[in-house]
Amino acid sequence: MINSENITQYIKDTAVHGDIYTDEEIFKQEMTSIFEKTWVYVGHESEIANSGDYKTTVIGTHPLIVTRDSDTDEVHVVFNRCRHRAATVCQQEKGNANYFRCAYHGWTYSNNGDLTGMPFQDGYGEEFDRCKMGLIKVPRVGIYQGFIFASLSEEGPTLEEHLGNARPYIDYVVNTCPEGISLNAGAHKYRFDGNWKLQVENTIDPYHLSVTHRSFFNLMSKKTGKKINFSKMHKNEKIRDLGNGHSLYELDGDLGIGALPFNLIVFPNLGFLGSQVRVTWPVSVNKTNVFLYPIMLKGASVEENAARLRKHEGFYGPAGFGTVDDLEVGFDRVMEGLNAKGKDGEWLEISRGLEREEVDEKGIITATSSDEVSARALYKAWKKLMTADDSNVETRGKKHEPTVGRP
């Protein structure tokens, strides 16, 4: 059994154990201790811009609907589960509707979640209170600069406290254009057979750029006549641990893959990079969904936004270079390699640059861009949440036996 005490066997300051990517018990505890405890990104206001708009999403393994109230324009986040027999009441990815009707027995809910009716209501007794049978709302919803977050926990830090040092960089993204941004251009979607943390780690990992994506940068050099000096680049660039699992990668110039001058991870499932918002959704211990939403500039010309899309597609699109390289080399081969369990060989290093970290007066840790500051930031937050009091966490599964190579 995995619990808040023995989970520490899987993580050190300088390395993480391979089982955290493959163990189903650890995945289940991540869903409970991380995704059900902290703030999770669920959508952007531009995706539900009009009264009655909605989108479906998830927090961990919980299906949800994010809606804009038809009467008040208030944003609601409700569980996508009929109060009668638990069937999901909305199957569409997005749309506009004044109500959601369960296709099983016809219970019908307004788009604020209230139960408005059901067939043959006279079959219920006088004590049945329809007002108490609406779709369950998540305990907390917060919106920062148009980005909608929800928490399944009634307690904990406020959204502003959770975002902390990441807020100025979200502000930067939004202020890219005087009229703001929108995420309504659709999304690139992919699923890979690997653990969700591989994608989050990969969002800030400049160390792999000159190796995994060498073919892309060689082509860029031929196209532009400029060759990137990666050694010089890494010395000039910085990665910062912003706290709470968030981290920042500050680029030294234009790499030709997007408009933002930085990559930003907002733990646990949101990323900003290139010209996109990246959302990572765990499905199971070895399956992950990823949606990439191109950032469109409100009020910009069609040509300017089209140019942003073409650059985004060139590296991150399905026919581009970056994503396909990462899927094969960074995810598929890692998951395959994790099956090799030789003695003392099951730990994955995250120690690079540890001895040259600098800490400023705000406690922000900084090192060069080839260093693994971001991975260490991620796993500090991961460890903090996974080792929090889990007295209310359901005991699950069979006895867990640590494998070889434990410290």
- The 10s digit of each residue's pLDDT in 346-356 is 999 999 999 99
**Which amino acid, one-letter code, is at 374?**
S
Instruction: Say yes or no to pLDDT of 163 above 70.
Output: yes
d(CA 56, CA 48): 11
Tokens of 11: 């993580």
**pLDDT digit string, tens, across residues 106-131:** 999 999 999 999 999 999 999 999 99
φ/ψ of residue 85, rounded to 5? -130, 20
Query: Distance between CA atoms of 48 and 55, rounded to whole angstroms?
Result: 7
CA geometry: angle 143, 240, 206, nearest 5 deg: 105
> 130 in helix, strand or coil?
helix
Helix extents (H) in 291-332: 302-316, 322-325
In the predicted structure, residue 373 carries a pLDDT above the cut 70? yes
When pLDDT is averaged across residues 321-339 and rounded to a whole number, the result is 95
Could you give the CA distance from residue 149 to residue 147 in angstroms, rounded to a whole number? 7
CA 367, CA 241: separation in Å to the nearest integer?
A: 9
**69-115: pLDDT as tens digits:** 999 999 999 999 999 999 999 999 999 999 999 999 999 999 999 99
Rounded Cα gap, residues 226 and 354, in angstroms: 32
Whether the Cβ atoms of residue 99 and residue 108 lie closer than 8 Å to each other: yes
Is residue 17 helix, strand or coil? strand
Cα 193 to Cα 283: distance, rounded to the nearest angstrom: 10
Q: Answer whether 48's CB lies under 8 Å from 68's CB.
A: yes
pLDDT at site 267? 98
Residue 219, φ and ψ in degrees, nearest 5: -65, -40
**Type of residue at 217:** F
* For residue 7, pLDDT beyond 90: yes
Rounded mean pLDDT of 36-54? 97
The one-letter amino acid code at 66 reads V
Token readout for 298 is 């409100």
What is the C-alpha to C-alpha distance for residues 148 and 142, in angstroms, rounded to an integer? 6
Give dist(CA 187, CA 128) in Å, integer: 43
How much is the pLDDT for 390? 53
